Structure 1
Amino acid sequence: MSVRNVERIEGQYSALAPGYSEADEDRWVPEHGKSVYRSSFERDRARLLHSSALRRLGAKTQVVSPSSDDFSRTRLTHSLEVAQVGRELGRMLGCDPDVVDAACLSHDLGHPPFGHHGEKVLNGLAGHIGGFEGNAQTLRILCRLETKRFHPDGRSAGLNLTRASLDAAVKYPWRAHEAPLAPDGTRSQKFGAYEDDLDAFTWMRAGVVGTRKSMEAQVMDAADDIAYSVHDVEDGIVNGRFQLKFLQDRVQRARVIQTVQEWYLPGTPEDQVDAAIGRLEANENWVRESDGSRRALAALKNMTSELIGRFCHDFWSATRNIHGEKPLVRHEADLVLPDQTLQEICVMKGIAAHYIMASREQLPVYKRQTDVLEALHGLLMETGDRFLEPPFQADFRSAVDDAGRHRAIIDQIASLTDGACLEWYATLVKGQPVTNALFV
């Protein structure tokens, strides 16, 4: 009988997986009494699954708008797929699967309406109050906006996840001014915490030196890259945006290589990107052309499954070759990412970026999304808390300065799904009922 089963029978289930400490199980607000049938990390995962922030991802853009068809992935289905990939990869490396699972479910909670374009627009609108960053917004949701527990002084403690799960959910464990510098001396725009969430961030990072990611966060990050690199290509093919046979055309191949270099592999020579494409094309399951039939859809599924398994195996094998067979948890090791595998993943992302995100057909859509967000932001700034939902209205009223009130408005807009944002725009800004024509 396992240790965990013994503890279940004795009425308290608190055994930790090998490599984890009691400090990893701590919560920002102590909770007295432990579950008789779940570990603390299992409870973290359950809190994420039951959260409204996770449910809202079902109507937020991944690559293709959720209103465009019934097949394409949303932020929610993407997060569930990342959790499946991350859970298995983490388990093979010795991470607690529920810590990785919770991190994967959390990783996109901070995304606003309209995906990365919406994030860019909100960052501009919030520039003078610290900007907007989807990953920092995720921490804000987990530690403040999605409420499960409160501090004794009345402040929200968010979902009050364990330190290990919260740290695993932070893909960029630094503040804006601590972001790493690129080779050209520019500072990365990615960061994991706003200044007014510093108390939660500091508690979470207790005992960690510098800006290193936990092993579980690295697994989450890798699972995210693997999942969306493969699935975005699948979605694009099924939606008729492109066929992989296009890469056999010399001109189109050169343009895809250029997109890969500009978006994901700056400084990588063209011949190395081309070689990565060649390695992918050499795969016997590579689907050069799909006609949308059941057999074709099955072939696409086989291709995505094989690629996910291949990428995960490469990461697992390279990491085990360096670190051996011990459990690799928290801040005791780093995930090893082979260069050729990373190049192949970047090629997959670049294919989707070239034919979908960077497509000229998207420019009017992005313009429409910008107009909607800017107009809605302007109206809410003029009307104060009048139209805010009760939680954000309370934040607005309790703010001690204009920056705090502005942040409450940004939080409100960021919480909206794509459809809700369009509805607010139509009814509040335009004063008209919503029609399908509004959905972009």
Structure 2
Amino acid sequence: MDPSSLYDDHARERLVPEPPKRVDAPERTPFERDRARVVHAAASRRLAAKTQVVGPQSDDFVRNRLTHSLEVAQVARDLSRALGSLPDIAETAALAHDLGHPPFGHNGERVLAELSGDCGGFEGNAQTLRLLTRLEAKSVDADGRSVGLNLTRATLDACTKYPWARPEAELPSGVHADGSPREVHKFGVYPDDLVVFDWLRDRVPGGGTRRCLEAQVMDLADDVAYSVHDVEDGTVAGRVDLTRLDTAAVWATVRAWYVPEADDDLLDEVLAGLRTIGSWPVTSYDASRRSLAALKNLTSDLIGRFCGDVQAATFAAADGPFVRYRADLVVPERTRLEIAVLKGVAAHYVMQAEDRIAVMVRQRELMAELVSLLVERGPDGLDRAFADDWHEAADDAGRLRVVVDQVASLTDASAVARWEHLRGSGAATGPG
């Protein structure tokens, strides 16, 4: 069966109806058009200069937000196809999942959340929805107001990792993959974006906070990608040696950051299981092509292991079809723990490095001062599109939201440059 036939007209609907495309244009499904719109979005290009774990300028090999998103998209597409759902939807959600991240990753998100309480807070996933439905220029409604990329309902729903507003969010706990503490409430929509949010969540069975299957695939793909790739990056950087792990220290980090209920014996057993993978290294990485190829094989095998186990568990739990709200993704407990072990390895050897922590402090100071300077300067310090939003804002809260939108749109380097410019000193030195 063609998976696209499982998505009805309601799933294909756009907020603003669009005329048919040229008759001589290549024929594409609505969901293929959605993917193309995200790929060509300016916000996607900016991801290349935004922090994933360490700054994109620090090393030619290290991943940035764009390369991470491409890898998440590949994992999501493969898993979606294996489940029999439409790969274009899960892949587009994966390509879009980090669009709302501000400069300096979760570290920058923390600052914007602290400063934006008067306008509804800040959260990277809520900002992604705002980009897709308002800030990214592609389509306008009958009144000439931007509706962002005007994606289909099914695609927007798949992009919604946290389908609730800030008041319904749980208290944050633990840490992010980049090592910054989880101090930001996780939610998916700001108060002034509720109209489009209610539209995309229309007819969700039972209402509430249930996520569609495609959103669940995107979320798992994100988890799998950064758990595996952070270890790969750490190994190439010389910080991780999978043949010589200080398991006592790593397990302490795993419990503190990810799975507090796991004891040493359980984690030892999980690691022993991972070591049975044929490509698990028995000699230390030495930067040779042979060693790098072996590391790449391990990365591939780990992703295949995790996705294969999830696919098998999902098929065992339901008959399908595995689309939208007709089924849920099932992640086995052992898979969850294996992912947590890999995260713990990267967290212990990479995230907690003292040099990185010092840089993160400087980043937060810069972000806070940048917001303050832009609030003080007003439209003169903003890009044209955001200056227009400033003039249209009804109150101080609305103008603060515009400043937050502007800052969130910047890359790491352009945030430093804007800060230097507003301070009137091109010789100032920003965080690395």
Output aligned runs, 1:171-190, within 5 Å. Answer: 171-180=161-170, 189-190=185-186
Q: 1:179, 1:187 within 8 Å by CA — same for their partners in 2?
A: no
Tell me how far apart the structure 2 counterparts of residues 245 and 222 of structure 1 sit (CA, whole Å): 27
Residue 257 of structure 1 pairs with residue 244 of structure 2: no
| In 1, Cα distance between equivalents of 2:221 and 2:357 | 29
Indicate if the aligned counterparts of 1:276 and 1:343 stay in contact, CA closer than 8 A. Answer: yes
Aligned partners of 1:416 and 1:183: how far apart in 2?
27
Distance in 1, matches of 2:238 and 2:280, equals 17
Is the CA contact (8 Å cut-off) linking 1:136 and 1:192 kept in structure 2? yes
Matched, 1:39 2:29: yes
Which of 354, 369, 373 is equivalent to 1:379? 373
Q: Offset at 1:151?
A: 1.4
Q: Does 1:242 align with 2:236?
A: no
The structural deviation recorded for 1:120 is: 0.8
> Aligned to 1:411, which of 399, 405, 415?
405
Residue 205 of structure 1 and its aligned partner are, at CA, apart by 0.1
Letter of the 2:149 partner, please give it.
Answer: L
- Does the C-alpha gap of structure 1 residues 70 and 55 become closer, same or farther in structure 2, counting only changes over 3 Å? same
In structure 1, the residue matched to 2:194 is 198
CA contact (8 A) 1:95 1:329 kept: yes
Partner of 2:361: 367
Q: Does 1:286 align with 2:280?
A: yes
Distance of 2:415 and 2:317 partners within structure 1: 48
Q: Partners of 1:198 and 1:100 in 2: how far apart?
A: 23
Which deviates further from its counterpart, 267-276 or 305-314? Answer: 267-276
Q: Which residue of 2 aligns with 1:7?
A: none
Please point out which of 173, 190, 211 is paired with 2:209.
211
The percentage of counterpart residues that share the same residue type is: 52
Residue matched to 1:231: 229
Secondary structure of the 2:364 match is helix
Name the structure 1 match of 2:15. Answer: 28
Aligned residue in 1 for 2:40: 50
Measure the CA separation in 2 of the matches of 1:170 and 1:262.
28
1:397 to 374, 391, 399: 391
Letter in 1 for 2:312: S
Provide TM-score, normalisation by structure 2. Answer: 0.93
The answer to whether the 8 A contact 1:67-1:439 is kept is: no
Say whether 1:98 aligns with 2:88: yes
RMSD: 2.0
Residue identity opposite 1:213 in structure 2 = R
4+ aligned runs moved over 6 Å, structure 1 = 181-184
> Does 2:5 correspond to 1:18?
yes
- Of 285, 304, 311, 1:309 maps to 304
TM-score scaled by length of structure 1:
0.91
Corresponding residue number in structure 1 for 2:71: 81
Partner of 2:150: helix, strand, or coil?
coil
Aligned residue type for 1:72? V
In the TM superposition, what whole-angstrom CA distance separates every residue of 1:62-108 from its partner, at most 9, and x where no partner exists?
A: 11210011111110001011111100100111111111111000000
- Cα distance in 2 for partners of 1:183, 1:130 equals 20
Question: Unaligned stretches of 5+ in structure 2?
Answer: 175-181
- Gaps of at least 5 residues in structure 1 are 4-15
Which residue number corresponds to residue 296 of structure 1? 291
Partner residue of 1:320 out of 315, 336, 350? 315
Q: Determine the C-alpha separation between the residues in 1 that align with 2:196 and 2:77.
A: 25
How far residue 201 of structure 1 moved from its aligned partner, in angstroms, is: 0.4
SS in 2 for 1:18: helix
State the alpha-carbon separation in 1 of the partners of residues 338 and 259 from structure 2. 11
Amino acid paired to 1:192: G
Question: What count of residue pairs does the alignment treat as equivalent?
Answer: 419
Provide the C-alpha distance between the structure 1 equivalents of 2:315 and 2:269, rounded to a whole number of angstroms.
Answer: 26
* Residue of structure 2 aligned with 1:157, choices 131, 147, 150: 147
Change (3 A) 1:415 1:183: closer
Say whether the 8 Å CA contact 2:253–2:347 is kept in structure 1. yes
Name the counterpart of 2:262.
268
Contact 1:237 1:243 in 2 (8 A): yes
Q: Secondary structure at the match of 2:243?
A: helix
Contact 1:24 1:163 in 2 (8 A): yes
Conserved? CA contact 2:321–2:327, under 8 Å: no
Q: CA deviation at 1:321?
A: 1.0
> Residues 53 and 211 (structure 1 numbering): CA distance in 2 closer, same or farther, change over 3 Å?
same
Instruction: Work out whether residues 34 and 151 of structure 2, in 8 Å CA contact, stay in contact via their aligned partners in 1.
Output: yes
Change beyond 3 A, Cα 1:375–1:170: same
Asked if structure 2 preserves the Cα contact closer than 8 Å seen for 1:148 and 1:158, the reply is yes
Report the Cα offset of residue 36 of structure 1. Answer: 5.3
Distance of 1:351 and 1:150 partners within structure 2: 47
| Counterpart Cα distance in 1 of 2:229 and 2:183 | 30
Cα deviation, residue 377, structure 1: 1.1
